[in-house]
Amino acid sequence: MSAYHVKTPLVRVENLVKEFPISRGVLFRKNIGSVQAVNGVSFEMQDGETLGLVGESGCGKSTTGRLVLRLLEPTSGRVFFENRDLATLQPEVLRKARLDFRMVFQDPYSSLNPRMSVEDIIAEPMQIAGIRTLERRARARDLLEIVGLRDYHATRYPHEFSGGQRQRIGIARALTMNPKLLVCDEPVSALDVSVQAQIINLLKDLQKKLSLTYLFVSHDLSVVRHISDRIAVMYLGKIVEIASKKDLFNKRLHPYTQALLSAVPIPVPGAKSTRIILSGDIPSAINPPSGCRFHTRCPEVMKKCFNEDPVLMDIGNEHKVACHLITH
Ligand code: SF4
């Protein structure tokens, strides 16, 4: 391979924007504004890596995951999957391309049809793809084994399983058509801590065995730390810092990242971290603050932060930060 060969990323997201209109009135709906859920998000994902997407609830991380899968149409911006702009694909081509990227949901119970047996739930995407019954059954049972369930579970219904087992079924269903990318949206946050570790370890094993790429969306930095290769921190619709896991934990530069990470327990006996408590709540995405969106809560705020929006700057080693302190 040439020294100048640049690997094509599996996913490239360019300047993604998503606004949800707000309307009022019963008979005559009138647009009175919009919620800026995602504002200018860009990142790349290489084949086989896990990118963690973290931030407080309402920061736009789950919306970003849905935009990547095109479960939502972006207001503007583009998503490339293996160098193909998904917005330009014909519906039939997009339907086939979609088999390569699937979602693992937060609440497996509400995402599994209670009236279908586990085998039928897992086999459903194969039925839509026109795969024969016997082949579907065999594949569904293989998948059950791959996610750590048993053959006899195939004929049971979702209510007969524990939360962890239901998440295993959700993962099996996501794997049905051999996807390349899984967007995992808070996949363990509804589970007990002991079960969380089992599901995270399962996802890590599956990634190795099946060469999967994960976009892992979570508010829980301890979980994200365990599974991610790189981490992107989001605040009010924007990425404020993105780096390798090691760089983010060792050289956290953005004041918001510093506050978030200060709440993560250090896995060393006797070690203490100084918790940074942010004042105030996350501002409304309907009317976000001018300049740096974090300025209403930032302990380092300075004059230019009120009206100049900092750019996400590469400070080396693919570590990017959006904060005026970097250039100050
Ligand atoms: Fe704080 Fe200003 Fe940096 Fe924003 S740009 S994080 S307000 S120092």
Centre of ligand 1 from the C-alpha of residue 40, in Å: 18
Q: Is the pLDDT of residue 145 over 60?
A: yes
Highest mean pLDDT pick, 26-40, 104-118, 152-166 = 152-166
Pocket of ligand 1 (CB under 6 A): 254-255, 292, 294-295, 298, 300-302, 305, 310, 323-325
User: Higher confidence at residue 30 or residue 208?
Assistant: 208
Cα 36 from chain centroid (whole Å): 18
DSSP 8-state secondary structure symbol assigned to residue 100 = G
Q: Which ligand 1 atom is the nearest neighbour of the CA of 292?
A: 4
How far, in Å, CA of 38 to CA of 79, rounded? 14
Question: In what helix (H) or strand (E) does residue 40 lie, and over which residues does it extend?
Answer: strand 30-45
User: CB-based burial of residue 43 (10 Å sphere; 0-12 exposed, 13-18 middle, 19+ buried)?
Assistant: buried
- pLDDT higher than threshold 50 for residue 2: no
Q: Give the whole-angstrom CA distance, residue 62 versus residue 191.
A: 18
- The alpha carbon of residue 269 and the mean position of all alpha carbons in its chain are separated, in whole angstroms, by 31
pLDDT of residue 272: 64
Is the alpha carbon torsion for 110, 60, 63, 35 positive or negative?
positive
Which residue's alpha carbon is nearest to atom 6 within ligand 1?
323
What pLDDT is stored for residue 3 in this prediction? 47
Copy the structure tokens of residue 238: 């924007």
pLDDT band of 312, cuts 50, 70, 90:
very high
As a whole number of angstroms, the distance between CA 46 and CA 55 comes to 22
**The ligand 1 atom nearest the CA atom of 299:** 1
Provide the 3-class DSSP secondary structure of residue 119.
helix
Distance 237 CA to ligand 1 centre (A): 15
**Average model confidence (pLDDT) for the chain?**
92
Output the CA–CA distances (angstroms, integers) from residue 213 to 52, 181, 199, 281, 322, in the order listed: 11, 5, 16, 33, 26
Ligand 1: centre distance to CA 46 (Å): 30
Residue 294 CA to ligand 1 centre (angstroms): 6
User: What is the distance in A from the centroid of ligand 1 to the CA of 292?
Assistant: 6
Contact of 117 with 154, CB cutoff 8 Å: yes
Q: Given this model, what pLDDT does residue 271 score?
A: 63
Q: Is 283 exposed, middle or buried (0-12, 13-18, 19+ CB in 10 A)?
A: middle
Please tell me the distance between residue 303's alpha carbon and the centre of ligand 1 in angstroms: 10
Q: How far is the CA of 265 from the centre of ligand 1 (A)?
A: 25
- For 246-300, what is each residue's pLDDT tens digit? 999 999 999 999 999 998 876 666 666 688 888 877 888 889 999 999 999 999 9
Of 234, 258, 296, 298, best ligand 1 pocket probe by most atoms within 8 Å of the beta carbon: 298
In DSSP terms, 306 is beta-bridged to none
pTM over 0.95: no
Residue pair 79/86 in contact by the 8 Å Cβ criterion: yes
Higher pLDDT, 25 or 123: 123
Contact call for residues 104 and 182 (beta carbons, < 8 A): yes
In this structure, the residue with its CA closest to atom 4 of ligand 1 is 292
- Report the run of H or E that residue 14 belongs to, with start and end: strand 11-24
Atom 5 of ligand 1, nearest CA residue: 323
Structure tokens at 217: 């969306």
- Name the 3-class secondary structure at 151: helix
Calpha distance 59→37 (Å, rounded)? 7
